[in-house]
Amino acid sequence: MNEKSSLLKNLRAGDLVYYKIKPEGWDRSTEKGAIDLRRIGLIVELEKETGMGFQMIRVLWDDDDKIDCIAENYLHKIDEA
């Protein structure tokens, strides 16, 4: 079976991923403690690579059931172990 995978992180349709969200105004260099907001979703489709070399990925979010197109480098695969 020849499944299409992403260029940078080997992500595939059906993979569960998260996207880290930084609160507005949060500065890692001055604030202590862990602020870790994540958005979790399911990859539904891999888009073509952009002219700038970015792989775009369509993700269905679990919190609002909307689909967004996100650059691969911002997504992190959730380990299924």
Predicted confidence (pLDDT) per residue in 41-55, tens digit? 999 999 988 888 889
> Which residue did the predictor score with more confidence, 63 or 2?
63
* CB distance 22 to 31 below 8 Å: no
Domain coordinates of the chain in residue numbers?
A: 16-77
Tokens read off for 58: 């369509």
Q: What is the maximum alpha-carbon separation in the chain?
A: 49
> Which residue did the predictor score with more confidence, 36 or 66?
66
Q: Which of 3, 2, 17, 4 is nearest to 72 (CA)?
A: 17
**pLDDT tens profile 23-33:** 666 666 665 55
The pTM of this model reads 0.76
DSSP letter string over 11-32? --TT-EEEEEEPPTT--TTT--
Tokens read off for 8: 């940078």
